[in-house]
């Protein structure tokens, strides 16, 4: 029995959604289901998928302090913070579940976890897994330790503060899945290259990495002519917009082209899939896999 979300099946069972996707007024079958179809009880979805979405939507974690929410969310609105966290977790689930049994006992890392925007919802998706969180923000990590480490789920959370440059203290080949959302959208190229190597080291051979990049269609209209030329020439552009209070000066805005990801990130990982606006209908989702053959 297929327990995965099948876009073709969903569109077949919901012709109005198929028409909206064809016209471009709805981004995808999955986007419709998460935003509308789940609440409407739309057909064509396995009960296992409905259960995962229900568990995520019914999770109501205590919000972090407003200053920590602002640091990662762009606003201090707790409802927006929670809503984005749910959607990001579900988008990771949609990309990874066809390849990795998320209901089994896995080791997962939230790389750049901040104050836990995604963590409680990943716990709902992967309830048997041990989920580690790491970030350069010591204040956010302290809050996560106080609010998640002793959550009554057999100690299935653990947290570390990492330096701006690798290495971390995690063992090589430790994680079945690593995800880093809105992390490489802020790093200069030198740091990005260092962290790609470190992420490869920490990922198990055959394991997966989910990263996000800015969506070109959304950001290009806001770039200067010079920025667009640099992005087209180099495939990556690091723009100093002013920074974020509480985070290092290098934490600015970074844009990538898909061709850059294919050329450079593939030195570290196999690029398994690229989903345009696959993270919360906003950033592009890049699914990577550490090769098994020849792995260090």
- What is the maximum span of the chain, computed from C-alpha positions, in angstroms? 53
- pLDDT over 90 for what percent of the chain? 84
74: tokens are: 């762009």
pLDDT in tens, 20-34: 999 999 999 999 999
Q: How confident is the model at residue 1 (pLDDT cuts 50, 70, 90)?
A: very low
pTM: 0.94
Same domain, 116 and 217: yes
Q: Of 41, 58, 75, at which residue does a domain stop?
A: 58
241: tokens are: 């917009």
pLDDT at 150: 60
- Check: CB of residue 111 under 8 Å from CB of residue 132: no
Same domain, 204 and 89: yes
pLDDT in tens, 52-107: 999 999 999 999 999 999 988 889 999 999 999 999 999 999 999 999 999 999 99
CA-based torsion, 243, 244, 246, 247: positive or negative: negative
Same domain, 118 and 14: no
In this prediction, residues 112-127 reach a mean pLDDT of: 95
- Scored b (16 or more CB within 10 A) or e, 200-222 reads bbbbbeebbbbbbbbbbeebeee
Q: What is the mean pLDDT of the chain?
A: 93
Same domain, 38 and 78: no
| Domain limits for position 73 | 67-289
Across-strand partners of 213?
A: 284
pLDDT in tens, 198-248: 999 999 999 999 999 999 888 888 889 999 999 999 999 988 877 677 777
**How many domains does the structure of the chain reveal?**
2
Q: Which of 101-105, 180-184, 192-196, 238-242 has the lowest mean pLDDT?
A: 238-242
Strands (E), the chain: 107-111, 130-135, 157-161, 175-180, 203-213, 236-239, 253-256, 270-279, 283-289
């Amino acid at each position: 029995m297929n327990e995965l979300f099948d876009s073709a099946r969903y569109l077949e069972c919901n012709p109005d959604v198929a028409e909206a996707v064809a016209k471009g007024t709805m981004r995808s079958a999955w986007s419709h289901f998460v935003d509308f179809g789940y609440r409407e009880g739309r057909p064509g979805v396995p009960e296992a998928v409905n259960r995962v979405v229900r568990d995520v939507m019914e999770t109501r974690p205590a919000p972090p302090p407003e200053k920590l929410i602002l640091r990662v969310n762009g606003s201090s609105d707790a409802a927006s913070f929670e809503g984005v966290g749910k959607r990001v977790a579900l988008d990771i689930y949609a990309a990874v579940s066809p390849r990795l049994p998320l209901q089994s006992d896995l080791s997962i890392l939230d790389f750049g976890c901040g104050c836990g925007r995604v963590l409680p919802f990943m716990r709902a998706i992967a309830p048997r897994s041990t989920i580690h969180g790491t970030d350069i923000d010591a204040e956010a990590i302290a809050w996560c330790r106080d609010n998640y480490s002793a959550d009554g789920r057999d100690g299935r959370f653990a947290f570390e503060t990492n330096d701006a440059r690798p290495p971390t203290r995690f063992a090589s080949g430790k994680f079945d899945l690593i995800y880093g959302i809105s992390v490489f959208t802020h790093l200069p190229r030198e740091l990005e290259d260092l962290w790609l190597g470190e992420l490869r080291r920490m990922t198990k051979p055959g394991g997966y990495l989910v990263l996000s990049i800015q969506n070109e269609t959304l950001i290009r209209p806001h770039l200067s002519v010079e920025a667009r030329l640099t992005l087209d020439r180099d495939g990556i552009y690091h723009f100093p917009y002013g920074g974020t209070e509480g985070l290092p000066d290098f934490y600015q805005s970074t844009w990538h082209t898909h061709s850059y990801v294919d050329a450079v990130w593939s030195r570290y990982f196999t690029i398994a899939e690229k989903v345009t606006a696959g993270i919360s209908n906003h950033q592009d989702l890049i699914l990577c896999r550490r090769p098994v053959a020849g792995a260090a």
